[in-house]
């Protein structure tokens, strides 16, 4: 048992433990930056979206079915993860940059939020050039809600998104629920269907604006669609 009295034995043991811990941490970091542990989004059916109850954000809220948003002219709809999030504000501003082109196509731009607390929506509105509705049951974030918890803060892609938004001059706060991931939909008129469905895979995963515009150009207004039948 004389080896127990040898200081180098303990040094080697501590070094081995430290190396093992570093190796495990490195492996965890690598895996966290792959899509292995990300929950896979479940595609939403048109019938699912149509039946969602939304509320206007007026002093006297009105409840409506979501299909009213796109029934005649289709729509581009942003499901906002958190209005106070500076990444969400960045994407809202990006989508709003398409507003003039969408107006030419006759396609409205909308957003839905999952909660309405204090002045969060009001503070979000300068970034978004469309009407905003409340989705209290968080249906636009389903059918299978996906969350990104603290793993998001060790993903390199998320940090890249952070710096991109910061460099763009966007700022925000920590008010409200921000772990349930959002997305963007382009829905055709009537029963034309969902033409684009972008599901945020991590914080700041923005939709491709060209894809939004291409999908919007595919929308056939209900009157035109009826004439072609």
Whether the Cβ atoms of residue 113 and residue 130 lie closer than 8 Å to each other:
no
Q: How many Å apart are CA 72 and CA 220, to the nearest integer?
A: 9
Whether the Cβ atoms of residue 160 and residue 137 lie closer than 8 Å to each other:
no
Tell me which long-range contacts 216-219 makes (C-beta under 8 A, separation of at least 24).
Answer: 216/74, 216/76, 216/98, 216/101, 216/102, 216/105, 216/107, 216/186, 217/105, 218/188, 219/73, 219/74, 219/105, 219/107, 219/186, 219/188, 219/189, 219/192, 219/195
Beta strands in the chain (DSSP E): 53-55, 63-65, 75-79, 109-113, 131-134, 183-187, 194-199
Catalytically active residues are: 85, 88
Q: How many Å apart are CA 210 and CA 217, to the nearest integer?
A: 11
Q: How many Å apart are CA 149 and CA 153, to the nearest integer?
A: 8
């Amino acid at each position: 048992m004389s080896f127990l009295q040898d200081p180098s034995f303990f040094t080697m043991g501590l070094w081995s433990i430290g190396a093992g811990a570093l190796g495990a941490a490195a492996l965890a970091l690598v895996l966290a930056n792959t899509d292995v542990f990300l929950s896979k989004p479940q595609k939403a059916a048109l019938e699912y979206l149509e039946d969602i109850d939304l509320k206007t954000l007026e002093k006297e809220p009105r409840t409506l079915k979501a299909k009213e948003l796109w029934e005649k002219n289709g729509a581009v709809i942003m499901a906002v993860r958190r209005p106070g999030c500076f990444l969400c504000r960045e994407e809202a501003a990006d989508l709003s940059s398409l507003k003039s082109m969408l107006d030419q196509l006759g396609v409205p731009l909308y957003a839905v939020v999952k909660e309405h607390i204090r002045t969060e929506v009001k503070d979000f509105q300068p970034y978004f050039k469309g009407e905003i509705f409340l989705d209290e049951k968080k249906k636009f974030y389903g059918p299978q809600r996906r969350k990104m918890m603290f793993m998001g803060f060790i993903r390199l892609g998320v940090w890249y998104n952070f710096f991109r938004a910061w460099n763009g001059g966007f700022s925000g706060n920590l008010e409200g629920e921000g772990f349930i991931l959002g997305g963007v939909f382009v829905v055709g008129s009537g029963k034309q269907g969902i033409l684009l469905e972008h599901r945020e895979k991590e914080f700041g995963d923005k939709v491709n604006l060209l894809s939004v515009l291409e999908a919007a150009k595919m929308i056939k207004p209900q009157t035109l669609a009826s004439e072609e039948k």
